[in-house]
Amino acid sequence: MSPFLHSLPYKMRFPRSRLFISAFVPAGIGFIGGVLASVLGIGGGFLIVPAMIYLLGMPPLLVAGTALFQIIFTTASATVMHATFNNTVDIVLALILILGSVVGTQIGVIFARFIRGQQARVILAMIILGTCLMLSIDLFVPPTDVFSTVME
């Protein structure tokens, strides 16, 4: 962790994570994750998980549970806000996604028992780099139909 982050006040001990850091650091990470969850609909985990692993130095398996617990409240709040203010929630689609997510979560928890911390970091890095590559390609490759919103 950088010297600046170590110099921040209001340090707290997080026994399960074995961290002694300023409360401002996780609060700042959570704030940015919350903004991204509301604006982009990404759940915040795309930023929060790498930040907890690489900025805070938490073990990857502990990060998974902590991020999922935090995301429950972030996404619930964002969902209620979008449903009430913007009317932008497709309930039927969401229920089908939930069904797939619940099954995928059960399988993922079983796989997580067999993955070491270093392997989890490599998998996460490959996913992030793959996403960056796809976004970069989409940035420079012109679409076939400029006025279409349907991906082909």
DSSP-derived 3-state class of residue 141? coil
- How many domains are contained in the chain? 1
Residues 4-20: what's their mean pLDDT?
81
Q: Does residue 18 have a pLDDT over 70?
A: yes
**Given this model, what pLDDT does residue 43 score?**
62
Q: Does a structural domain hold residue 21? A: yes
27, part of any domain: yes
Q: What is the full DSSP assignment across 76-119?
A: HHHHHHIIIII----HHHHHHHHHHHHHHHHHHHHHHTT--HHH
- pLDDT score for 150: 62
Determine, yes or no, domain membership for 152.
no
- The predicted-structure confidence for 37-90, as pLDDT tens digits, reads as follows 777 766 667 788 888 888 888 887 788 888 888 888 877 887 888 788 888 788
Residue range(s) defining the domain that contains residue 8: 3-140
Asked if residues 36 and 70 have their Cβ atoms less than 8 Å apart, the reply is no
Residue 61 resides in a domain = yes
**Is 75 a domain residue?**
yes
Q: Based on the number of CB atoms within 10 Å of its own CB, is 5 exposed (0-12), middle (13-18) or buried (19 or more)?
A: middle
52 secondary structure, DSSP code: I
The pTM for the full model equals 0.59
Residue 137: is its pLDDT beyond 80? yes
Answer whether residue 148 is part of any domain: no
d(CA 17, CA 4): 20
Q: Is residue 32 part of a domain?
A: yes
| Predicted pLDDT at 100 | 93
Q: What is the predicted pLDDT for the residue at 130? A: 92
Mean pLDDT of the chain: 82
Residue with tokens 């707290």: 12
Helix (H, G, I), strand (E, B) or coil at 14: strand
Residue 110 has pLDDT above 60, yes or no: yes
Task: Answer yes or no: is 49 within a domain.
Answer: yes
Q: What are phi and psi of 142, to 5 degrees?
A: -70, 145
pLDDT at 12: 86
Query: What is the pLDDT at residue 33?
Result: 79
